[in-house]
C-alpha cells in the first residue's frame, strides 16, 4: 500500500512530504516509502506523469474558529472511520499487520462485543491513533471492515439531500 501511494505521488506530481502517511512510513523505515525500493511493472512511471492536474487549494481555516476542546469530538463526528464487523472478522491479524500507526489491536472480548461466543478476542481500534488511510479495509480477506460515519456527518448529509429535493 505504501509503495502504491509513493508511486502515485510521483505520477501526480506531489512531493512525498505533502502526504502525511508517506512521511510516517518513511520515518518507520517501511518498505516502499522510497522510489528506489519499488519495482514498477508495465509502463515506465515517467510515461504516466499527469501534467494538467493540480490538487485542490488549501481551505481558508482562518474563517473557521473552533474552540480547542471541541476539535477532537467534532473530528470523530465528521470524519469517516473504519468500522469492524465483528461477526465476519476471523481475527486473522491482517489488518493489524498493515496498520502503519498501530491503531488496531486484538483485545480480550467483552460481553457487549458481537460475534462468535467461542472467540475470546475482538478487534479494537484506537481512533486517536487512526490516520484514516483505510488500509485495513483494503487488506481484510473477509470484507469485515467498512466505512462508518459519525452522527453529525450523517445528519449533515441528510440535510443536504432534503435541501436538494426542495429545490426541484
CA distance 121 to 108: 5
Sign of the Cα pseudo-torsion (9, 3, 26, 94, in order): positive
CA distances from 94 to 36, 138, 153, 167 (A): 26, 10, 29, 46
C-alpha distance from residue 168 to each of 160, 163, 164, 165 (Å) = 13, 9, 7, 6
pLDDT in tens, the chain (168 residues): 888 888 888 888 888 888 888 888 888 888 888 888 888 888 888 888 888 777 666 655 556 677 878 877 887 788 889 999 988 999 999 999 999 899 999 988 766 655 555 567 889 999 888 988 999 999 999 999 999 988 888 888 787 654 444 444
Q: What is the pLDDT of residue 167?
A: 44
Q: What is the DSSP string of 114-141?
A: -S-TT--EEEEE-TTT-----HHHHH-T
d(CA 136, CA 49): 28
Cell 506531489 belongs to residue: 14
| Range list for CATH 3.30.70.20 in the chain | 65-167
C-alpha cell at 108: 480480550
For domain 65-167, give its CATH number from 3.30.70.20, 1.10.760.10, 3.40.50.10860, 3.40.50.1970: 3.30.70.20
Residue count of the chain, please give it: 168
Q: Return the pLDDT at 63.
A: 60
Q: Are 152 and 74 in contact (CB under 8 A)?
A: yes
pTM given for the model: 0.54
Amino acid at each position: 500500500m505504501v509503495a502504491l501511494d509513493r508511486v502515485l505521488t510521483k505520477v501526480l506530481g506531489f512531493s512525498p512530504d505533502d502526504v502525511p502517511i508517506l512521511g510516517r512510513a518513511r520515518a518507520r523505515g517501511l518498505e516502499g516509502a522510497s522510489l528506489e525500493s519499488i519495482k514498477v511493472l508495465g509502463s515506465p512511471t515517467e510515461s504516466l506523469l499527469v501534467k494538467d492536474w493540480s490538487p485542490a487549494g488549501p481551505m481558508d481555516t482562518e474563517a473557521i474558529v473552533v474552540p480547542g476542546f471541541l476539535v477532537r469530538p467534532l473530528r470523530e463526528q465528521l470524519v469517516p472511520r473504519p468500522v469492524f464487523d465483528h461477526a465476519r472478522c476471523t481475527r486473522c491479524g491482517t489488518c493489524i499487520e498493515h496498520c502503519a500507526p498501530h491503531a488496531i489491536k486484538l483485545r480480550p472480548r467483552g460481553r457487549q462485543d458481537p460475534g462468535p461466543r467461542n472467540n475470546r478476542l475482538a478487534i479494537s481500534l484506537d481512533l486517536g491513533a487512526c490516520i484514516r488511510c483505510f488500509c485495513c479495509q483494503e487488506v481484510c480477506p473477509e470484507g469485515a471492515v467498512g466505512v462508518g460515519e459519525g452522527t453529525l456527518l450523517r445528519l449533515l448529509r441528510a440535510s443536504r439531500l432534503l435541501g436538494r429535493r426542495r429545490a426541484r
